[in-house]
Structure 1
Amino acid sequence: MDRSRFKKSRGNTRRWQVVAVVGVAVTITGVGLGVASAAEAVPTVNCPQVVVGVAVPAQAKAEVDRNLALLATQIDEANKRIASTVGQGGDNFIQNAILGPLKDKRFATINRIETAIGRNADKPNLNAEGLSPCSLNEGGGEDTNAGGGNNNGGGATAAPAVPGANLGILTNSCDTSNLEAHDGFQKGNRCVSTEFGEVGAAANNPTLLITSAPNQVRRNQAFTLKVSTRNLIRDRFLAAGQGGYYVESSVLANGLVRGHFHTACRMLGSTRSAPDPAPAPAFFVATEDGQGGSTPDTITIQVPGLPDAGTAQCSSWAGDGSHRIPMMERANQTPALDSVRIRVR
């Protein structure tokens, strides 16, 4: 009898265990369904569609297409930020941190479309003020008005996403500039359309150091500077006076920049504030000797003398073939430049 009661008790225990396991399974499934429902409820932005209802000149088509694609990219980035910041901030977080900046970006983008068309035709009014604000689809879902379009048969087509578009870039070409095109000569108030070109890996980016310079010299006394460069092939120099200024993209050879370096000395009117950038320096020379590479080497610069007493700032800086300081892989790398101060008595 005791054994029978024992067996019955074990049977009840097993049935309880089975029920408990099933109960846990149901509970877990319910939690999963709850999470899915919460994800579906994340709001998305709902922006009015931008339609270019006028003929787009051929010269403006690429710029118009880029900005129409940018409108879609801006919405996509806003939706991603909403999804990644659920539960953050107060009641006005989405409005202040996402919808407000999105409105400003859209306004600027629509204005750029109007300006691009207006350079070669009558400037249209696309209602940037009215089409900039976006609302929320509280129930989630995809925004069917994400991009923009052209309903005039003019052939505006979708373009690839623009790098940095989610940062609200002001422009990435001279198509949006009112300045004259740069012509390769040393002129200001121009827009340079030459692409930046190639940038090397951080370990191959150029560096430069002035390794030797006098502390003081007499007026018109000749002296030398020693300059060491690394990762700079000094074999490329387009004469700026002949139209070679800012006309060539940066070019790499085996991962290293092809270019040259400049050296200049100017007299400082004060050591307490930044100097006037306009005056020509007292000394200037470019070094393109066909040497240089990944191994550091040193070049001696002969300065014939400086005519005025005071404090001279002597600088050396690398340049690509078209005189721009070479690009670096990362923003926190120091460019290839160096300066020293020399007392002229």
Structure 2
Amino acid sequence: MRETALPDPTLPENSPSARARRAALTIMAAAAVVLLPTACDYAIATPSTGDYGQGAGQGSGQGTGGHGGHSVTPTTVRTVPAGNTQELEPTEEETAADEETAADQATSQEETATAEETAGAEEPGAAEDTDPAEDTTTGETTTAPPVAPPPAAGGLEILGDDCSTSDLDPHTGFQDAPRCVAIAFGEVAAAAQSPSLLITDAPATVAVGEKFTLQVSTRNLVRDRFLGAAAGGYYRESSFLTEDGIQRGHFHTACRMLDSLDVAPDAEPAPEFFLATQDNQGGAAPDQVTVPVNAMPSAGTAQCAVWAGDGSHRVPMMQRANQTPAFDIVRITVE
């Protein structure tokens, strides 16, 4: 709050000394309003006490002013974001004081200039000490340094969480690679609602050129979401759940002939059979789906795999790392 200077009864009201004294007190009063940067770079509209985020929103930043866990010292000084030198709106008391001192300052431009020179002589360095712009920059950090993400468990630092540092071209939704996919992972279901599936029936042996079927049971999978990979829907959208927390998506079935049972197969060649099942069925309860499979072209061992996918063909995420993904595999002898 600004103080209004009282007239000195020992000085004539319109004497040069009286005018100079009034001008000096006006400058000192105006300089009393300073801008104080806050610790969180957050504007506080009204004074508050205690800790932010306490009460009903304890620890969540939902209390007065947000930012849970930060302590605020009671004060009547209004604050603005750190480094901000904009002028604050004056209070009613400050406005009244401004109007009263403005009448004295409006006597004449020449008298004001003279008074400022006199005040400068009487109070050397006063303007420099109370300059608001300098107060918000001198000895204070005007911009908060970027905060690095916390290290992962075990002290490991993440390599990144977007494509900003990748040298690869952005992924476009088509089946091209190497690319960098910037789409967010999206929603992950709770452990009790994570999708799962199982091949419940498959032939042990089939003849070359013979069609067959697989029985697949899915749980916690609503098969209503399928963005065509060939149409640019591959890795194109994030994962989403239903209102009940069930994964939306579909499941895939693929069968390929194995060249060897002793080494991992080459993943590049396309399988002999591939099918995506999106039948607008499924849900939390387990059900059964019959998948027709085309005939295998030659004798040997066929590997048939089934795995769930979200709307954009990724294996659904799981709440925990030690949960088994939604997939199953069987081997069938082709004679």
CA distance in 1, matches of 2:197, 2:177: 27
1:293 corresponds to: 283
Q: What SS does the aligned partner of 2:198 have? A: strand
Q: What SS does the aligned partner of 1:241 have? A: helix
The 1:174/1:310 distance shift into structure 2, 3 A limit, reads: same
2:191 corresponds to: 202
CA distance in 1, matches of 2:293, 2:149: 50
1:268 corresponds to: 258
Tell me the TM-score normalized by structure 2: 0.55
Matched-pair contact (CA < 8 Å) for 2:163–2:181: yes
The 1:156/1:187 distance shift into structure 2, 3 A limit, reads: farther
CA distance in 2, matches of 1:215, 1:156: 65
The 1:284/1:154 distance shift into structure 2, 3 A limit, reads: farther
User: 1:156 Cα shift?
Assistant: 6.8
Q: Please tell me the residue identity of whatever aligns with 1:315.
A: A
Root mean square deviation of aligned Cα: 1.8
**Which residue, 196, 216, 233 being the options, matches 1:227?**
216
CA distance in 1, matches of 2:308, 2:142: 46
Matched-pair contact (CA < 8 Å) for 2:151–2:158: no
Matched, 1:183 2:172: yes
Instruction: Please state which structure has a larger fraction of its residues in helix.
Output: 1
1:217 corresponds to: 206
User: 1:162 Cα shift?
Assistant: 4.2
The 1:249/1:270 distance shift into structure 2, 3 A limit, reads: same
Tell me the TM-score normalized by structure 1: 0.54
User: 1:176 Cα shift?
Assistant: 1.2
Unaligned residue ranges in structure 2 (runs of 5+)? 1-140
Q: Please tell me the residue identity of whatever aligns with 2:237.
A: E
Q: Please tell me the residue identity of whatever aligns with 1:170.
A: L
CA distance in 2, matches of 1:292, 1:335: 17
Give the total of aligned pairs.
193
**Which residue, 309, 313, 321 being the options, matches 2:311?**
321
* Higher RCO structure, 1 or 2 (CA under 8 Å, sep 6+): 1
Encode CA deviations 1:90-127: one digit per residue, 9 max, x unaligned: xxxxxxxxxxxxxxxxxxxxxxxxxxxxxxxxxxxxxx
Encode CA deviations 1:50-109: one digit per residue, 9 max, x unaligned: xxxxxxxxxxxxxxxxxxxxxxxxxxxxxxxxxxxxxxxxxxxxxxxxxxxxxxxxxxxx
Unaligned residue ranges in structure 1 (runs of 5+)? 1-152
Matched, 1:248 2:274: no
Percent of paired sites with the same residue: 60
Encode CA deviations 1:189-210: one digit per residue, 9 max, x unaligned: 1000011001111000000100
**Which residue, 148, 152, 156 being the options, matches 1:164?**
152
User: 1:185 Cα shift?
Assistant: 0.3
Matched-pair contact (CA < 8 Å) for 2:151–2:157: no
CA distance in 2, matches of 1:171, 1:251: 23
User: 1:167 Cα shift?
Assistant: 2.0
Q: What SS does the aligned partner of 2:283 have? A: coil
The 1:207/1:281 distance shift into structure 2, 3 A limit, reads: same
